[in-house]
Structure 1
Amino acid sequence: MNEHPTSGTSGLGGWCPSFLPTLSMKHSAHCARKEGQEIMPLINVYLRQGTTPEYRRNVSLGIHKAMVDVLKVPQDDQFHVFHEVTPDNFQMQPVVFGLRRSERAMFIQLSFNHRTAEQKAELFQSIVDNLRLFADVPQEDILMTINETARENWWAAGRVVNPATGYDERMNDVLTGPEATS
């Protein structure tokens, strides 16, 4: 149960994130690992068929920037999987919670370790702001959910876990206080 903010920068105009050249946009892009937790965030983005690779890159960029800035995930820890589905397989009412949703509506599933309610609210807002800025997605077309998982439920080759904390060793400098031993 750790909570750690992140500092990172990214954006489109004028800033070139270090991970941008490594983007693979057929169906997957990047992921962000949360600092302060042994996590390897996994992001699934569901949208209707017909988006461009550039659009998906911009959506990915906006999400990843929020993960780095708000949750302090390492810049190189990014796994975004895009699922483009036919309109028949993306069923949603045109008005949800009293707001009209367009054909560009997307559903974003974020999977990572425990965060506070405040951190999650900040992350949601940052993603909404970034998607509007980078991909011109109105907030009405963004629906999100977070699936929290225990840190022991993540594995990736190359990740080194600090036995004292149970977290990715790259996040040791982020851990402070009681969460460093919990």
Structure 2
Amino acid sequence: MPLVRISLRRGKPPQYIAAIRNSIYRAMIEAFNVPQNDRFILVHQHDADEFDYDANYLDIPRTDDLVIIQITCNNTRTVEQKKVFYARVAELLSTEPGLRPQDVFISLLETTKENWSFGNGIASYA
């Protein structure tokens, strides 16, 4: 059910991008109970002039390795599950591909179940 959009600066090798995708998916399975094969991940790479961020907002020092992760998902997770998820994503990404936790930005967009169609023009969860 989650739709993941990952934005980062252009120029990282394919293995680096794959590690980001795989780590986020693993965290969704572990912390959000996302079922196997429920994997819909889009990667958007940007040139420097298309990737604007504050390098110190909320006193978090960010670098040009910043990865912005936006996930559209059902509004069924508790605050505690979200906290576990955020921490797990940062932990996994620090291991593979080696991102600093300060360079992991996550935003959840929550929606109700009837707002999904996975194909065939059918409201998949309604």
Matches within 5 A, 1:1-182: 40-114=1-75, 115-157=77-119, 166=125
Runs (4 or more) in structure 1 with deviation over 6 Å come to none
* Larger Rg over CA atoms: 1
Identity of aligned residues (%): 28
Matched residue type, 1:153: N
**TM, length-normalised to structure 2:** 0.91
How many correspondences in the alignment?
A: 124
SS at match of 1:92: coil
**TM, length-normalised to structure 1:** 0.64
Work out the CA distance in 1 between the residues paired with 2:114 and 2:60. Answer: 39
Q: More strand per residue: 1 or 2?
A: 2
Q: Specify every segment of 5 or more residues in structure 1 that has no aligned partner in the other structure, as ranges.
A: 1-39, 168-182
Q: Deviations over 1:126-161 (max 9, x none)?
A: 111111111101111011110001100011138895
Matched residue type, 1:89: E
Say what the alpha-carbon RMSD is for the aligned residues.
1.8
User: Displacement, 1:100?
Assistant: 1.7
